[in-house]
Structure 1
Amino acid sequence: MQKPATATLASEFAELPATASHGPLRIEYRWMNEAAANAPIAVFLHEGLGSIAMWRDWPQALCERLGMRGLVYSRPGYGLSTPRAHDVKWPVDFMTAQARDILPALLDALDINTQERKRMWVIGHSDGGSIALLYAAQHPDELAGAVAIAPHVFVEDISVQSIAQTRQLYETTDLRSKLGRYHADVDSAFYGWNDIWLNPAFRAWRIVDELVAIRQPLLAVQGHDDNYGTMAQIDAIAERVPHAQLVKLDACGHSPHRDAPDALNDAIAAFIAKQR
């Protein structure tokens, strides 16, 4: 098993008990600005191939800008968390299960109480952005607000085409070894994500109707040059959540926190400042 090259000395682990939807899980997590005990919490939800290590320094920089504590964690199958067994396929509703079961169980394990959750922001990227939206819809009274960066709310051809191309790169270039820096079991991470997105059954996946339950402040961000999704994604969010604010970034692809970090941080900071 290849270990990530990025230092992980600051990571801790939470043990989640087995439930009807999953077996026992060991979740890698890390706090930022933990000494600021009275500050609101920002929970960061990574992309489909992400992990704590892959976020690099962006969550820390944003938390310092916002004056918040930060919680980052690697979802099951990613980073140093419990890997996905190689014969297990993620179900079509895997993002709903993450919002419904895994994140609340992690918050419980870390003793994050109801009052802290009411002041909490969820900030997600890509698949993590979709999970942030689903969590906001499922827990409208236990959240201060949400930021969804390049989220998916339905499946577009451009997404499937790019994900198929990524699979070819993974199997024919050094992409696998590069991703191995960020995951203890890189095949667990890659094929869990890739297989479900390329599953024909997943073409019918959509969470647009669930979004009408979102009551708290919502910021949705998309880059004009995103090769995994179009502006139709966040436009669909605005149709279902009229109070949502949209930010559309020029010269920005699928990862605004890497492609346009200053513009992204400015947008998030300004939006959250208006809610305080």
Structure 2
Amino acid sequence: MQIEENHILIQNSSIYYKKVTSQNATNTLILLHDSLGCTVLWRDWLDILAQELNVSVLSYDRRGYGKSSNYTVPRPINYLEQEAQILDELIEKLELKNVHLFGFSDGASVATIYAGMFPDKIHSLTIEGVHVLIEQETLAGIRQAKHTLETTQIAKVLEKYHGDKVMDLYLAWTETWVSESHQSWNIEHFIPQIKAPILVFQGEFDEFGTAAQMDAFDKAPKAEKYWVLGAGHTAHKEKKEEVFEKVTSFIKQHLV
């Protein structure tokens, strides 16, 4: 395995990425993290996916996360669309070929938007715990996350991964989603534009959304839905072996 770690400048932000490449890899799988995540928090997924699929697996920290530069401006309603544009620039600048996306939570939303914006640029789309519309369950989960921030030591724990950016990213995430101006947010219109085959899965007890999030992908030409029984929002951690088998089986069908 070959490991590459570096920063790349995109739209005046220093973006950290890590790429694990197996021998003779001809495809690239990009992992997109959640609202409190970063590359490090994918743990060993880069390595095990690269080995099982014989691909390059790349993860990067979005603006304001992990080892990337801070991002303190108020988030507009289309900030995830902006992140999809940044993803496109990253793919172009790193000259990544035969691209597949695996997005989790907010990262799944970015992946969905990207696949709708640039339908000819990816070969498969794996979506976990996605948000495509705002539900009361979504808002309740975010309010609980904010309460956890205020009443526990989670900020101290997250400093290990995000440094002094923790409060900025935590508050930007929670305050943006519960704000009045954000309640009209919806990205369902991107789904019918997606050409790539889709695997969309969700934990049975996902605290941030109902089946409506997955059902929105019925509008896509080629989408398979999968419930991870007994799991919550972080299904790939809670039911790792089951999810790993499902994800790798799906992606193998669409490697170039």
Moved over 6 A (4+): none
1:103 maps to 2:87: yes
Q: Alignment RMSD, CA only?
A: 1.6
Q: 2:194–2:221: 8 Å Cα contact kept in structure 1?
A: no
Quote the offset at 1:159 in angstroms: 1.0
CA distance in 1, matches of 2:48, 2:183: 36
The CA deviation at 1:63 is 2.4
Match of 2:195 in 1: 215
TM-score (norm 1): 0.87
Structure 2: 5+ residue stretches without partners: none
Pairs within 5 Å for 1:1-276:
11-16=5-10, 18=11, 24-33=12-21, 36=23, 38-85=25-72, 88-99=73-84, 101-112=85-96, 116=97, 119-184=98-163, 185-238=165-218, 240-276=219-255
Write the deviation string for residues 202-222 of structure 1: whole angstroms up to 9, x where unpaired.
111111122110011111011
Amino acid corresponding to residue 70 of structure 1 in structure 2: V
CA distance in 2, matches of 1:205, 1:171: 26
SS at match of 1:180: helix
Query: Is there any run of 5+ residues in structure 1 with no aligned partner, and where?
Result: 1-8, 19-23
Looking at structure 1, the residues matched to 60 and 45 of structure 2 have their Cα atoms a distance apart, in angstroms, of 14
Distance in 1, matches of 2:112 and 2:23, equals 26
Task: State the 1:199 CA deviation.
Answer: 1.1
Q: Distance in 2 between matches of 1:122 and 1:51?
A: 16
Aligned length: 252
Higher relative strand content = 2
Shift of 1:190: 1.0
CA 1:37–1:13: 2 relative to 1, 3 Å: farther
TM-score between both structures, scaled by the size of structure 2: 0.94
Which segment drifts farther, 201-210 or 55-64? 55-64
